[in-house]
Amino acid sequence: MVTAPVPARAARVLSRLAPGSFPFRGRWLALASGSRMHHVDEGSGPPVVLVHGNPSWSFLFRGVIPALAGGHRVIAPDHLGCGLSDLPSPGYHHRLAERVDDLAELLDMTVPGEPVDLVAHDWGGMIALAWAVRNPGRVRRLVLMNTAGFGLPPGASIPASLRLARTPLLGSWLVRGLNLFVKGAIRHGVTRPLGEGAARGFLAPYGSWDERAAIHGFVLDIPLSEGHPSWNLVRHVSEALPCLASKPMLLLWGLRDFVFTPPFLEHWRKAWPGAQAHVLDGAGHWLMEDEPLECSRRIEAFLTP
């Protein structure tokens, strides 16, 4: 279900989806830049914000949204260039700081000043945590899934596929030309083959060279050295995490993830010893695709007093 008028790009993406696979009312808000940011806004009650990573969109949360909407107001945005949001303007650099500002602007318009629960996955965790350390008084609880709020922990490394995607010229051809990053995630981000409707859903927003700029931008924005434009912000988030130490946290983790490997989970456990942790031994990076009912049940139970 969508509201009219539907932006032209969003209409194209929706036409690529399997019928009924994303049954939510679409909403778009214009950011100060002029770009329209899509978000799902379902239910009523205490706000819960679902923040996706790369290469996905709010479609990733299609199972948990109905589970939470019975007792919460569920807000699930699509980052610019992802899902049903606009492609950003040419001056947009796809940097972490811009992503955090986009999220802040959306939340200031949808839940101004209200405390929220944050549910985040992949690079969405870094975006959500960067917003959280900027606004600790507005954070109630955190659910983090296969993500980081810090640089590479001891024992972790960047997979060869990600390094290849960052290679000048070749990376652009692989990610934006051949769409191998999304296709690879569909195959290797899960431990159970995706159904046709799910696969179509993850592919739908990324049908052309221009539509794949955001997913390549996310890959290039992983800071691996101090000279990287996002290095200092990641370091700041890592150093500021203690300001969130009193917040209840659930670590929900797919153990068969080739990106966010066990050293990331162990780092979280050491940094946040009071966190609840539930490990899904048979799930991969897209744990909500491998174990949708278990993920929804765990998140709902944690966020329901």
Nearest alpha-carbon partner for 61 in 82, 75, 80, 45? 75
For residues 196-222, average pLDDT: 98
- pLDDT given for residue 5 in this prediction: 82
Classify domain 8-303 at the CATH class level: alpha beta
Coil, helix or strand for 142? strand
Q: How many helices (H) and strands (E) does the chain have?
A: 13, 8
One-letter amino acid at 80 equals L
- pLDDT higher than 80, residue 1: no
Q: Per-residue pLDDT averaged across 88-113, rounded?
A: 97
Q: pTM of this prediction?
A: 0.97
Mean pLDDT value across the chain: 97
Q: pLDDT tens digits for 20-38?
A: 999 999 999 999 999 999 9
pLDDT in tens, 140-197: 999 999 999 999 999 999 999 999 999 999 999 999 999 999 999 999 999 999 999 9
pLDDT beyond 80 at 89: yes
Q: Tell me how far apart the alpha carbons of residues 219 and 94 are, in angstroms, rounded to a whole number.
A: 10
CA distance 178 to 160: 17
Confidence of residue 305 (pLDDT cuts 50, 70, 90): confident
Give Cα 243 distance to the centre of its chain: 22
Strands 47-51 and 26-30: what pairing? unpaired
Where do we find the tokens 């239910």? 43
CA distance 130 to 105: 14
Element (H, E) at 174: none
Half-sphere exposure of 301 (CA within 13 A, CB side): 10
Dist. CA 191–CA 283, nearest whole Å: 6
Domain boundaries, the chain: 8-303
What does the pLDDT read at residue 4? 52
- Identify the residue whose tokens are 């990324």: 206
* Backbone φ and ψ of 87, nearest 5°: -70, 135
Whether residue 67 has pLDDT greater than 60: yes
- Would you place residue 218 in the very low, low, confident or very high pLDDT band (cuts 50, 70, 90)? very high
* 185 contacts: CB under 8 Å, gap ≥ 6: 55, 56, 202, 285, 286
